[in-house]
Amino acid sequence: MMHGPYPLQALHSFKLPAFAAGYIQLHCLRDIADFCATVDLKRTHFYILGGGSNTLFVRDFPGYILHVQLPGIEVIAEKRYKVLVKAAAGVPWHQLVLFCTARGYGGIENLSFIPGTVGGAPIQNIGAYGVELKEVVDTIEAIVLATGEKVVFKAEACGFGYRTSFFKTKWQNQYLITSLTLALYKEAKYTIEYEAIQVMLAQMGVKRLSFQAISDAIIAIRKQKLPDPAVLGNAGSFFHHPLVSIAHYQWLKQQYPSLVAFCTQDQDQIKVSAAWLIEAAGFKGVRIGHAGVYPLHALILVNYGGATGQDIINLATQIVQKVKRQFHITLVPEVNIVGATMGQYTHGNGITSV
């Protein structure tokens, strides 16, 4: 356990300057138990950090950063068509994807190259290219931070929704996820409805589909579209794709025929592309000081070097205001914003305020 000020700039992908009052690495379950026994968490600020790929520190953090680094991946059961794979919370997510695709296990290949760790994946219910994590979760193991007790959750108990779960909402800061067990398959079931995947598979000359081939295609697509956080600080998609009523969508489509949207399981709603909204509002490639909107993907806000958390918030606020005025849609951040004072977003719809 280290006492601050402890620098956080290298621990999150935005690479913004911030310090924490305390910092502890959690390498095993005993580390977690010792921390829970020594620190009164009811009276202490804390933030659970994995890969730091979905976090924006706006200012110094007045409590402990709990840096989860629990290691290990194992196959715990395998049958002819099904397999259970368990991974510890500190494993990089993409490492788990590579482990599974190399063995012919399907279900998460469309989630290739997503940054962050296994422990953060169910909190956000990560998703990409027509697949969400909730579709393959079997169980989640966690520690009750108030007591140090171990608990196991079945997938249906976790309140999974679009980029959310109970761990992000009503259970926030109550549990520390320690591992995730996925129910994967070995059958030739593929999700390649997205045109970008089909185009990339064709460009790569893939004649026979496989989980590995789809994973390779997704990696290639993401490398083309997304900035490398090691080179340009960012946290991937900054905003959720908003859900709107069919009537609202039809109204917008009449005015903006190029509007991009995606069908959902709810027949009364449709998901509108946040990237399209931001670009149509004139922000793609815009740079204000050291903060900007990535020129190749409008959904990504970037730190060009020297930006502060408040610089990113100020840019995000301008985007939200313009999109709301122009399209009557309120964008909600997907990134966990720590220590923010962003007006209407600081209470319950997308931002963690401490």
Choosing from 109, 141, 279, 334, which is the catalytic residue? 334
- Treating both helix axes as pointing N-terminal to C-terminal, what angle do 211-225 and 195-203 enclose, rounded to 10 degrees? 100
Q: What is the C-alpha end-to-end distance of the chain, expressed in Å?
A: 21
Choosing from 112, 141, 237, 279, which is the catalytic residue? 237
- What is d(CA 330, CA 73) in angstroms, rounded to the nearest whole number? 40
In the Cβ-directed half-sphere of 110, how many Cα atoms lie within 13 Å? 21
Structural element, H or E, at residue 201:
helix 195-203
**Six token digits for residue 266:** 């709810």
**Six token digits for residue 20:** 């924490």
Q: Look up 334 and say whether it is catalytic.
A: yes
Q: Look up 109 and say whether it is catalytic.
A: no
In three-state secondary structure terms, 182 is: strand
Asked whether the bond before 227 is cis by omega within 30 degrees of 0, the reply is no
Choosing from 163, 165, 215, 279, which is the catalytic residue? 163
Q: Look up 103 and say whether it is catalytic.
A: no
Phi, psi (rounded to 5 degrees) for 21:
-70, -25
Q: Are 277 and 261 in contact (CB under 8 A)?
A: no
Radius of gyration of the chain (CA): 20
Q: Which of 111, 107, 106, 76 is nearest to 92 (CA)?
A: 111
Catalytic residues: 163, 237, 334
